Amino acid sequence: MVNVTIIGSLIGLVLLISSFVTTLSSTNKSSYLILTLTASSLLIYSKLLLKKEKAHSQYLTYLFYTIIFFFSIYTGCFLHKNVTATSFCVFMVVMPLFFINRPITVNIFQAISTVLFCYFSMKNKPSYYYNIDILNGISFFFVGSAVNFHSLSLKLRDISIQGHLKSQRDTDALTQIYNRGGIEQIIRDYLAFQKTPAAMVLLDIDNFKTINDTFGHESGDALLIETANILQSHFRKEDYVGRLGGDEFVVFLPGFVNPDSLSNKLGNLVQILNRTLIGDSGTYSISASIGVALYPKDADNYDELYKRADEAMYKIKKSGKSGFVIYDKAL
């Protein structure tokens, strides 16, 4: 996209200069010469600013193009009343090439400019010339719009690709829930910008290694997938479910402020996760140990909140597993 913008800008610059140079033989040669040199300098300067990615470069570029647009309307509708306007029509096609990353903004700008151009042409020029100007202005507006819509389709495709790549980067390949990096970033962002209470729930499958070694990795993977599905269906749509690695899961509940309701939900979850596997070598019970920490009551940052939830989870593991503990300083 960057290369296309650079190439488009260079082509647009050549076309713009050429459109002004063609009128140098007309009256007011000095005005056109000054306008051509000014436009060229401003365009080059604006692209250098954009290349350096300075914060104010985009606004300066919009200002430059607005000035040039008004100049082209002024020369086409006021200075030369007995000839058809050329610079404005050429610029209608040139501008989208400079702003290939801003298709919607450009299209709105072009629509307003076309209306102004047609209005002033009709007010100031003989009917023969303003009819041609109106026809050309509308025609070139649609040509510019076609360039804009093509740019928009490219931009939407890039957004879709980037979103897909981000989803792949943040999603656990096995369970299709958030991976450690994805869920951790969500929680960190929430804790950094939100003040409403929340809860972090850590869950560990008890004796997972024994089950995995006894029944095989395929059965272990199936258990992880089933656990992820249970967590997603058990909590709200606005809650975030992630796998931190191995058999450790995390659920983040933004805005959850009712400890009694949370206790009931976790009690039901423990019962759902209590299952039995029967194999050739015997019967094995599946259960889960859960630890909970509350924000901002127990901690106000990710690392401390995770530490508190982890302490609560190991408290229940030491107490016989298959249950949950909500963190308390007494632990």
What is the per-residue pLDDT for 184?
93
Contact (Cβ atoms closer than 8 angstroms) between residue 275 and residue 286: yes
Distance of CA 150 to the CA centre of its chain: 20
Structure tokens at 113: 């400019």
Which pLDDT tens digits describe the chain residue by residue (331 residues)?
Answer: 444 445 545 555 555 555 555 555 555 555 555 555 555 555 555 555 555 555 555 666 667 677 777 777 877 788 778 877 877 777 777 777 666 667 777 888 888 888 998 999 899 888 888 888 888 888 888 887 887 777 677 666 666 656 555 556 788 989 999 999 999 999 999 998 888 899 999 999 998 888 888 888 888 999 999 999 999 999 999 999 999 999 999 999 998 767 788 999 999 999 999 988 776 666 778 899 999 999 999 999 999 999 999 999 999 999 888 899 999 887 6
Torsion angle of the four alpha carbons 162, 163, 166, 167, in this order, in degrees rounded to the nearest 10: -150
Contact (Cβ atoms closer than 8 angstroms) between residue 73 and residue 90: no
What is the per-residue pLDDT for 168?
62
CA distances from 282 to 67, 116, 117, 260 (A): 83, 84, 85, 38
CA distances from 135 to 72, 128, 183 (A): 17, 11, 56
Structure tokens at 17: 């200069």
Contact (Cβ atoms closer than 8 angstroms) between residue 233 and residue 225: no
The helix/strand/coil state of 308 is helix
Domain ranges of the chain: 2-167, 180-326
The structure's pTM equals 0.55
**Count of Cβ atoms closer than 10 Å to residue 48 Cβ:** 11
What is the per-residue pLDDT for 2?
45
What is the per-residue pLDDT for 103?
74
CATH number for the segment(s) 180-326: 3.30.70.270
Contact (Cβ atoms closer than 8 angstroms) between residue 247 and residue 208: yes
What is the per-residue pLDDT for 71?
76
At 275, phi and psi to the nearest 5? -135, 175
What is the per-residue pLDDT for 146?
82
Structure tokens at 14: 């050549």
What is the per-residue pLDDT for 211?
84
Contact (Cβ atoms closer than 8 angstroms) between residue 35 and residue 20: yes
Q: What is the C-alpha separation between 135 and 128, in angstroms, rounded?
A: 11
Angular region, 270: left φ>0, alpha ψ -120 to 50, beta rest: alpha
